Structure 1
């Protein structure tokens, strides 16, 4: 073992081996668990429940909260999601930690990227290997190692089925479990060089349903109100609102009509990412003003559906202290660790909004996530499992020291 570890810590970490963690990762990566694949998510949840039952405490599967979405015809309909896994260990203990991950991936059941192969002896190419089947597997190994060391901390593990689409059906569950926790660890992948995510922006997904008036495109177009043109105007006005710390991305326009008809329906889908709560308020004003201007200019009506569901994640003193604890543990293990701001969002945003310090890239190292080139570094599995065990042990013994 590296210097910097006590004899107790060396004994705690010695049994951690890569083989079982990798075997479990490969088994779980072979299960397609795209967010919309309810059958695959059910199979994945069952495997996770069996695996995490090796830890003390109660494993339960929680029904998803209702979620609504605007369809291509402008109707609001409910979207089905898979169940979420929760493990509660020593629930009677006051000092508690929350660890979170997700079982869903971005790869649909019919996506061509479904199998794993090795690019070299350390680089595993496969769907969900880094994001985050490897992270779930090493989390379990780290907690199992921690449990060998006379633990006194209580903790909850939450693994949701909808993180990749914004955690809308699990947000209330995350908030409930995060309350009162001394720290949070989330198992999003780190970068291959060991970089960890620091501050994150917020994120909101919206659908603006534009209702115009149909008319014949040749005989009386002036009697129509073109919803597609209005939606395009709204997209341009929103895009013009980009500024430092606030990105706005008009992503897709649905709707329309045959070429000989003035279209009376269009749906503009867009995303915005504010760096601060103040910029989230600025963004809402931007949206409201743009909608009002477009309604007046084009004589249409617009119904807005959506919200900022991932609050901005700033970094305060408690989070700095948690990173200090984790980075010291990594250094004592001989692991490289860096920390930098990122434009991505995750469940760490939701946890931070509950006032809990969170480090949200505790998972396997890898890259090219959300693409057919996704890969994971196998050597990070046992390394990060040891890091989890050591961090939990030191949180247990010392807490987060400001």
Structure 2
């Protein structure tokens, strides 16, 4: 590491990041809690105002979802935070994170508790309010180096539910970027993610025919049975390159009525783009077979909101740059393919090299045992600053 690089990262300290994490985890920002999201967005705007550039809160795109009754209904979302710095720069990067958590406003997990001197148990502490704090600290240190590199920061309000209302923003901000850094927490043990599968969420609305279950059941067409048949066919079709999870069936009613409506929700995770295409063909085939055999109609809603994220040469160059920076900071990174998905999938689909586990260390995310290792904030913020500095000075050559 050069003398200038050492001077760049030296001012980064834990105190302000720790204060921000404690402040932000005290705000419930479950994806559906629009009041909490608005409050947190305001706090983020205040904090990121320390950086140059223009801050805006972008309106979410309209999103509809299938209800338990099989009807389409609008789903409200919070606004998305965007910071634009040096928009006319020749080379620009994208940094992304999310302000939402998986804990709704009425969830019992609402407060943070210290487990020891470094580990903070709190809602969204690792995923990803700790990541947002260290992103900001890294950017602030980077700005002290008089950089030429431009960047956009996107902090969306719906990543935990698939980024449906922010996908358009990702599609506008990602193309043409030199690289992207996403602040999902590190993998358990501190590892970095490489390849990820895609993810598709679907709802199959099955419409049969009601009838009296005792007097003339043969006149009915049982939508719950048809939905169950479709679930079993999907479950049996899973294999190493395609995870399929039938997750829920809504439908039915009184015991004396043949149910006329059911909704099957399922998730598919293909490992590569070809598998995603084959998965869609598989869905269409099973739907046609079940509809014919049970004499029902089936309408499938949804799609692959997260494309598969294979590793291309540009991503390998970014990984190498980050690995060298981590080594210079005294840390050896472990790299793993993972089964999870995130906004890194959507960014990579635009041909942009992305590293999507630049956030804090921690564990047990999406559970009341979630914690962030506060001791990881300074090293990861320094990694951000050093990576951006080297992208500024040398690119990905």
Task: Tell me which interval the TM-score lies in, with the shorter structure as reference length.
Answer: over 0.9
Deviation per CA, 1:363-399: give whole Å up to 9, x if none.
0001100011101110111110100000000000010
In structure 2, what is the Cα distance between the partners aligned to 1:338 and 1:378?
Answer: 20
Deviation at 1:193, TM superposition (A): 2.5
Residue matched to 2:19: 23
- Secondary structure, in 3 states, of the residue corresponding to 1:266? strand
Residue matched to 1:326: 322
Of the three residues 22, 37, 41, the one matched with 2:37 is: 41
1:278 aligns with 2:274: yes
Residue matched to 1:202: 198
Residue matched to 2:125: 129
Deviation at 1:175, TM superposition (A): 1.1
Q: Is the 8 A contact 1:98 1:156 kept in 2?
A: yes
Structure 2 portions without partners, runs of 5+: none
1:297 aligns with 2:293: yes
1:181 aligns with 2:177: yes
In structure 2, what is the Cα distance between the partners aligned to 1:108 and 1:27?
Answer: 18
Residue matched to 2:5: 9
Residue matched to 1:242: 238
Aligned residue-pair number: 397
In structure 2, what is the Cα distance between the partners aligned to 1:206 and 1:191?
Answer: 27
Residue matched to 2:75: 79
In structure 2, what is the Cα distance between the partners aligned to 1:24 and 1:286?
Answer: 47
In structure 1, what is the Cα distance between the partners aligned to 2:20 and 2:326?
Answer: 24
Task: Sort the Cα spacing of 1:245 and 1:192 in 2 relative to 1 into closer, same or farther, 3 A.
Answer: closer
Q: Is the 8 A contact 1:246 1:272 kept in 2?
A: yes
Residue matched to 2:46: 50
In structure 2, what is the Cα distance between the partners aligned to 1:388 and 1:64?
Answer: 28
In structure 1, what is the Cα distance between the partners aligned to 2:373 and 2:259?
Answer: 51
1:353-392 to 2 correspondences below 5 Å: 353-392=349-388
Deviation per CA, 1:223-265: give whole Å up to 9, x if none.
0000000000000011111112101000000011210000000
Deviation at 1:303, TM superposition (A): 0.5
1:246-265 to 2 correspondences below 5 Å: 246-265=242-261
Q: Is the 8 A contact 1:193 1:336 kept in 2?
A: no
Residue matched to 2:89: 93
Deviation at 1:132, TM superposition (A): 0.1
In structure 2, what is the Cα distance between the partners aligned to 1:327 and 1:284?
Answer: 37
In structure 1, what is the Cα distance between the partners aligned to 2:278 and 2:294?
Answer: 24
Q: Is the 8 A contact 1:192 1:377 kept in 2?
A: no
Deviation at 1:282, TM superposition (A): 0.9
Of the three residues 85, 99, 123, the one matched with 1:103 is: 99
- Secondary structure, in 3 states, of the residue corresponding to 1:312? coil
In structure 1, what is the Cα distance between the partners aligned to 2:170 and 2:212?
Answer: 51
Structure 1 portions without partners, runs of 5+: none
- Secondary structure, in 3 states, of the residue corresponding to 1:216? coil
Deviation at 1:192, TM superposition (A): 4.7
Deviation per CA, 1:273-293: give whole Å up to 9, x if none.
000010001101110000000
In structure 1, what is the Cα distance between the partners aligned to 2:341 and 2:332?
Answer: 23
In structure 1, what is the Cα distance between the partners aligned to 2:300 and 2:313?
Answer: 37
1:334-349 to 2 correspondences below 5 Å: 334-349=330-345
Deviation at 1:128, TM superposition (A): 0.2
Q: Is the 8 A contact 1:194 1:336 kept in 2?
A: no
Aligned-residue Cα RMSD (Å) equals 0.6
Deviation per CA, 1:303-350: give whole Å up to 9, x if none.
100000100000011101100000110110012311100000000000
Of the three residues 125, 134, 137, the one matched with 1:138 is: 134
Q: Is the 8 A contact 1:190 1:363 kept in 2?
A: yes
